Amino acid sequence: MSIDIQTCLNEKKAMADELDELRAQSVGHPLGLLETTPRGIWISKLLSRSQSIQGNQNALQGYGLCNSEIENAESDVKSPLDSILSADEVRGLFNSFEECFDEQDLDSLSLIHCSVCHKMRFEQANPNSSYPFVDEFSKCLRPPTTCTSSVCLVCYLGSVVRSIQGLPQTWWDTSGTTVLLPCPCGACSGNIAFENRGALKRLLGLANVKDAVDVLRIYDTAQHLVSVLDTLDPQPTLKARQVAKHLHQHLISNGIMKPLFGLQTSELHTLESVLPHDVNSQLVQIWELNGTDEVFRVPIFTQLLRREQSPVECSICTEPIYDLISEALETWNTICGDYGGDWKWKILPFPRKLGQRCSHTVDFCTECLESYIEAQLDQHGRTGCHLLTCPSFDCDRRLEYDEVKLYARQETFSKYDEYLKLEALSNLPSFRWCLADNCSYGQIHDLIESNHVSCEECGYEMCFQHQVKWHIDLSCEEFDSMQENGDPRFRETRDWVNANTKQCPSCGVNTQKGPGCFHMTCTLCRYEFCWECLASWSDIMPRSGRYNQSAHRDGCYFRSSSQEPTQVTGERIPVSFLSSTI
């Protein structure tokens, strides 16, 4: 046996110099201290096999003493070989030593220099499955494939624990679905990842890691947050993640947001499955924040914003909405002032920005306001796009352009903006709408040399001056002369048009009434009016829903009748109705 150990030690002569140095540091410590730890027992057993090699015995003694003394100091991670044993455990390990470790196991043992702590650690070529961590360079401690450093169990897990404890600050930099930790060697740029939390849990337990439960909780939370961000499309850029990191820290420090790592993973899952009915119906959403030179698409965990305990019922959808805590609302604009953009208003469950211009409490949610603006725009159409109003009961204040831009959905606002442009164009002297059926195109005809123009969209030819289908083979002067003097069909047509149509009060297009009720909607511009007196329908039937009879013009049948325009049908008001009102 002594010859075998002598051979092993000779092969590691370079390592013996370091052992001598460790031995010098341990002078004066009795060998009995070693026997309180598995490492001490190992050293004692090895010494008993090499009594004839005094120098190497001293080296081993120094190795065991120094390492045992250091590992027994207070630290977050300890090797299983350095755990303190009771008297019974010491006796049991001594008595069963030969059964657990045969000569082949002992001969396969060697000493390896850890590249991090620079201590000599045991490495076993074929670890005994009953006591796997006699091998302090276990194959389960997988370094990055690019790293060739030897890192012992203590340093490996110490690095892992420190990295996990730092995840609340560093997880934002992780892309993909798995938490990545820096290589424990500290010298390369590689990363390590655990395939499952079970492997990490077992390692933490075997190494007697303090607060292992908290370490696992941090790891689980970071893993969940990373996987949530990975579902976003497109993925946030690294700059956007850094902006998000600072924003979340700012909101948390001001008491407006719950700490990301202050919740259990189960609580995060609950927030994703049972959500308040509001604009922030997802755990995380992308919001646009204005930077100095660019706009960042920043992920914000909106469900972690602190809410009131009692909900407020939305006056439109009647759903219970949990508003932000009052302390946050009072200082919201100031706190978020350094992060530019409309996000700070859109993110709120209630449209607070709208309330700054109204004299009433805003009691409808942001989501309902979005739907309301869309419905009003569809109702009023192009010519009534300027008639959008606050949805609150008894509030007729018209919404400003910036309010519609802020609270309308993108598609709705694009339509609204286009309508405004078309309305402005239609007031230009050189603008004409296409007169073809089923074509709503319009265009500017600048510098025209002839009144004969055509639609760029459908090719329909018309007269710019008379706004009729182009009069073929006739100049405009000839067309005027024929209308006045020589075309009986024109007079007949004109008389029929005058008798059976009325011009839309908004766009001027001749409109013919069908057999329906007297509430009319222009097919071109969607303007709504009373067929009898041409009064605006928005005045006759305001948003309050109460019929305003006085909005009809003088002489209108409906101004004095008990019937409403929607209650009478036909191309004309029956004579019997008219006689009954005389």
Domain-embedded: residue 351: no
Domain-embedded: residue 434: no
Q: Is the same domain home to 93 and 199?
A: no
Q: Look at the chain and report how many structural domains it folds into.
A: 4
Strands (E), 337-417: none
The mean per-residue pLDDT over the stretch 365-387 comes to: 90
Amino acid at 255: G
Domain-embedded: residue 246: no
Amino acid at 467: Q
> Quick one: pLDDT band at residue 259, thresholds 50, 70, 90?
very high
Q: Tens digits of per-residue pLDDT, 434-460? A: 888 888 888 888 767 789 999 999 999
Say how far apart CA 44 and CA 33 lie, in whole Å.
Answer: 10
Domain-embedded: residue 542: yes
Q: Tens digits of per-residue pLDDT, 76-105? A: 677 777 778 888 888 887 777 776 666 676
SS3 529: strand
- Res 61 pLDDT > 60: no
Q: Is the same domain home to 391 and 507?
A: no
The mean per-residue pLDDT over the stretch 267-273 comes to: 61
> What was the pLDDT predicted at 444?
86
In angstroms, the Cα distances linking 399 to 237, 357, 369 are: 35, 9, 11
> Quick one: pLDDT band at residue 579, thresholds 50, 70, 90?
low
Q: Tens digits of per-residue pLDDT, 183-195? A: 999 888 889 888 7
Average the pLDDT over each of 125-134, 178-187, 384-393 and give the range with the smallest value: 125-134
Q: Is the same domain home to 216 and 168?
A: yes
Average the pLDDT over each of 55-64, 376-385, 494-503 and give the range with the smallest value: 55-64
Domain-embedded: residue 279: no
> Quick one: pLDDT band at residue 127, thresholds 50, 70, 90?
low
Average the pLDDT over each of 122-131, 156-165, 279-288, 528-537 and give the range with the smallest value: 122-131
- Res 261 pLDDT > 70: yes
Sole residue written with tokens 């450093």: 149
Q: What are phi and psi of 249, to 5 degrees?
A: -60, -40
**How does DSSP classify residue 116?**
T
Domain-embedded: residue 481: no
> What was the pLDDT predicted at 19?
43
- Report angle CA 156, 188, 200 to the nearest 5 degrees: 30
- Res 64 pLDDT > 60: no
Sole residue written with tokens 């941090």: 218
- Res 347 pLDDT > 60: yes
Determine contact, residues 574/420, Cβ cutoff 8 Å. Answer: no
Q: Tens digits of per-residue pLDDT, 7-35? A: 554 554 444 454 444 444 444 444 444 44
- Res 149 pLDDT > 70: yes
- Res 244 pLDDT > 80: yes
Domain-embedded: residue 114: yes
- Other C-beta atoms closer than 10 Å to the C-beta of 318 total 9
Domain-embedded: residue 38: yes
Q: Is the same domain home to 132 and 84?
A: yes
- Neighbour-count burial for 244-254, b at 16+ CB within 10 Å, e otherwise: bbebbeebbee
Sole residue written with tokens 């050293």: 43
Q: Is the same domain home to 126 and 6?
A: yes
Sole residue written with tokens 């849990």: 201
46 is in which domain, residue-wise? 2-139
| Residue that finishes a domain, picked among 426, 456, 476 | 426
SS3 372: helix
Average the pLDDT over each of 341-345, 472-476, 559-563 and give the range with the smallest value: 472-476
Q: What is the average pLDDT score of the chain?
A: 81
- Res 561 pLDDT > 80: yes
